Amino acid sequence: MAKSTAPKNPLTKTELLANIAAATELPKTQVAAVLNALAAEIQTSLGKKGAGAITIPGLVKIENKQVPARKAEKRVPNQTHRESQGWLRVLQSVHNRNTRSTRSLNTLNASDF
């Protein structure tokens, strides 16, 4: 079996739809509908009223992670230690998204790419 050459740039949405449609022998419109439904489900699960996490079996797990606020800190530049040049920095509480690949993707060898 000959190796297919991987593209140098990431796939566009159109190219992704065409590749999936060719592999599954489904029309592009049905593949697009499935991807749109998946995107809507991810958005619902990660939204304010959602569960905060979603797992796509065999591919990826996406979670919202609450990062707590930090207190204001007195920052002084490294070169000069004058307190008059320091500044205050306050970080608010934020939500980060963690994305982890599942075990099936982690077992791929570098040579597979």
Domain that holds residue 33: 10-51
| One domain, residues 78 and 40 | no
pLDDT bucket at 1, cuts 50 / 70 / 90? very low
Q: What is the mean pLDDT of the chain?
A: 77
28 and 79 fall within a common domain: no
In this predicted model, what pLDDT tens digit does every residue of 40-86 receive, in sequence order?
999 999 888 888 899 988 888 888 888 777 776 665 555 555 544 44
> What is the distance in angstroms between the CA of the first residue and the CA of the last residue of the chain?
15
99 vs 61, which has greater pLDDT? 61
pLDDT score for 84: 46
Distance of alpha carbon 38 from alpha carbon 36, whole angstroms: 5
**Number of compact structural domains in the chain:** 2
**What gap in Å lies between CA 31 and CA 29, rounded to an integer?**
5
69 and 44, same structural domain?
no
- On whether the CB atoms of residues 66 and 95 are closer than 8 A, the answer is yes
Residues 47 and 59 in one domain: no
Residue 4 placed within a domain: no
- Give the pTM: 0.65
Q: Assess whether 65 and 44 both reside in one domain.
A: no
